[in-house]
Structure 1
């Protein structure tokens, strides 16, 4: 009887049974092709695991142009969060809020990139709404990354990563207005695509790390750098000419005063979000991979960033997978590519990144990471437009990620929200910025 019943089970049914496993009796883990999905499969608590072995071959699907139309948020539209949490509108009426950072005193600093300004939101611990809303500084050039320096409870500076430079303002806890003009710290490569720059400091306060995305999509029209990763990195760091991609698609390292620029890691197409993992002190990147390779290529990713590591762009992706546009160009690099830790649905546009350091969420959340997915344009079936939780075990990524905040998509063509920044408030709530309708949302336990 058992043999005949198994014979009647379709291969598809067996596969579906294999991809849906349960840890607690309710949690679904999507694997392989099922994990690629689209916005209609998004739901708080859904977990995905994508591995390099799951990637389709290049050319398996045509590339699509499918930009979303951002509409006014319907009055009834509220983002969705897992059971046991609640989400509330913390602030509205902002102009394209992007990265959001929590100051040591609890103030929320928000980069409004388009208008070129930094805004401060202040509220009491546990408050569902911002009580004050002040403009800290104006006249900046597409500001994005924000960092307080030195570490600890009494920083002396607020660093701002403009698209073309790093500047800093003298800062004291509680400042609502910049006390003077910004001081220029470092010049950054700029122009072309990928204008965002994020910034963090190593835990010992000795190094400033800045992410700089590529100027193009996949190295179009590049000259050939010197043979070998070591020579390329050495000469690249010294400013050897390599067209518009010199010192780009990389994480750069500086002294806190902007001196001694070096390459920290290379081959990262667009590390939009930078974060330092508490405890280990390891830098992490939330990364946008290349477009034009089909719906499910190339996966975006969130990963630890090792000094001296090369992540493949533009010749390879997700390990030794060669980009067809550069076939045969750099065989010497094939075995040098570092595979990212957590692969995401392709074209999700993974942006801001933070680690959960609060104590108000359940204990299993502590130390995990959250990333904001701005949403796809280069996919026939829309994906992204959510906040995901990156799962770690003993500080090490498992490769799994979980839909945590969803509900920003109205239909196949319309969205009302595009998440950008994530930060942990002093009271342990998670704050999420979205630049579609200019709002910030607060996630807390019920």
Structure 2
């Protein structure tokens, strides 16, 4: 069962007086949502520093933020960047994606009040801004994973570069192809037990309200092809690029719905939520634009069987869309040290916290 939750706001120094209608968010019984900050414009990908700093990239503001959850203080640690959506932390340094470049801010948590200049780690990525923003993350192999989206709605431009996921060393060297046929992933994570890469993929537009579905995919070995631009959602042949059958490609584990725009996703590895949530996937659905009736604008929960097949999917949090009106758009999710779940919202410029408080 779900119920409407009363607003519960963190009233700590530096936190803004919230006007966001969190009482409208529907969650499973026993969960509540609170506001961490509404001072993070265009908030997108989130990552933790080793000292507990929350770093947040942005989609349109050109800025990267550092948030101290205990005090609510928000700092701008980089500005003037091109779509710095992606942030990843490793060895004391913060890595930032900026379309054609991967940047690094060294020893960042010791220098929050006087951030260092960004160093260029890699500048060999394409310059197109159509699907040019990038979610980035370090994998269990220590390499930085960097997607390159298709520079179009649907096209077959240079499949070794576009519509693909790549990885490189932390110093930007030895970039290699990991997966092909991935139209635009803006969220991925590794399974806590198998170490396999799981990623969302945004389906193509302009095929009508109800097709194709966006996807949740699983990479079992490097080099697999997931269908774009020839096949969508496992069995939808593209009307323009129909020369290769869907049987040639890896089908998605789950169809997430047409035009829901899945972005950030994470496996739940905390201990605060009930045991049945362990190793579930949470997916931020940013919401549709290419649909006559809006859909998405919510957090999806995906449960898997031990073999990695889909057990079920359900809506975990919703209410940012009401009667066609939108007041928030989830962009990423991130598990906290105490097992809560953070949600970034680039529409409201906010970070929320969802926690389990019991029945």
Normalising by structure 2, we get a TM-score of 0.88
Structure with more of its chain in strand, by fraction: 2
Moved over 4 A (4+): 72-77, 172-175
Structure 2: runs of 5 or more not aligned: 4-17
1:115 pairs with 53, 56, 61, which one? 61
Separation of aligned partners in 2, 1:404 and 1:335: 33
Q: Is the 8 A contact 1:105 1:174 kept in 2?
A: no
Structure with more of its chain in helix, by fraction: 1
TM-superposed deviation, 1:322: 1.8
Deviation string, structure 1 residues 337-356 (Cα, Å, up to 9, x no partner): 00011110110000111111
Match of 2:136 in 1: 199
Separation of aligned partners in 1, 2:97 and 2:126: 12
TM-superposed deviation, 1:334: 4.2
Match of 1:351 in 2: 263
Please say if 1:176 is aligned against 2:90. Answer: no
- For residue 390 of structure 1, give the secondary structure of its aligned residue in structure 2: strand
- For residue 344 of structure 1, give the secondary structure of its aligned residue in structure 2: strand
TM-superposed deviation, 1:256: 2.2
Structure 1: runs of 5 or more not aligned: 1-25, 27-42, 45-71, 125-129, 150-154, 224-241
Match of 2:146 in 1: 210
TM-superposed deviation, 1:254: 1.6
Please say if 1:160 is aligned against 2:96. Answer: yes
Please say if 1:442 is aligned against 2:353. Answer: yes
RMSD: 2.3
Match of 2:10 in 1: none
Deviation string, structure 1 residues 172-192 (Cα, Å, up to 9, x no partner): 555424642222122211315
The structure having more radius of gyration, on CA atoms, is 1
1:100 pairs with 7, 29, 46, which one? 46
Deviation string, structure 1 residues 47-103 (Cα, Å, up to 9, x no partner): xxxxxxxxxxxxxxxxxxxxxxxxx96657542211010111111132111111222
Rate the CA distance shift 1:74–1:365 in 2: closer, same or farther, 3 A.
closer
Q: Is the 8 A contact 1:192 1:216 kept in 2?
A: no
- For residue 396 of structure 1, give the secondary structure of its aligned residue in structure 2: coil
Match of 1:185 in 2: 121
Q: Is the 8 A contact 2:198 2:217 kept in 1?
A: yes
Aligned length: 342
Please say if 1:133 is aligned against 2:44. Answer: no
TM-superposed deviation, 1:216: 0.5
Please say if 1:401 is aligned against 2:289. Answer: no
